[in-house]
């Protein structure tokens, strides 16, 4: 599996916090960053799916209407 390198600049306080947390918990920074990226990407995709669903929705349907339509 290829593992391309990602180079980015972080605010000093974020970099210091990442270093401190990883040292304290015995974690590798690369794994913490990778996990955070996967979670953020999933959140972004979920948000986009929700926006799309809201755009495609026609309107709120009252339960009585839904129940009545299901009977026909």
Question: Contact 32/38 with Cβ under 8 angstroms?
Answer: no
CA distance 60 to 26: 50
**pLDDT at 69 (0 to 100):** 84
Output the CA angle 2-24-8, nearest 5 degrees: 40
In the chain (72 residues long), the average pLDDT of successive 10-residue segments reads 92 98 97 97 93 78 84 76
Q: What is the DSSP string of 8-53?
A: ----HHHHHHHHHHHHHHT--HHHHHHHHHHHHHHHHHHHHHHHHH
What predicted TM-score, i.e. pTM, was given to this entire model?
A: 0.67
3-class secondary structure, 60: coil
């Amino acid at each position: 599996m290829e593992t391309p390198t990602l180079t980015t600049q972080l605010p000093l306080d974020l970099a210091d916090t990442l270093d401190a947390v990883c040292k304290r918990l015995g974690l590798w920074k690369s794994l913490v960053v990778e996990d955070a990226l996967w979670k953020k990407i999933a959140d972004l995709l979920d948000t986009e799916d929700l926006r799309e669903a809201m755009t495609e929705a026609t309107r709120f349907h009252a339960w009585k209407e839904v129940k009545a339509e299901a009977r026909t």
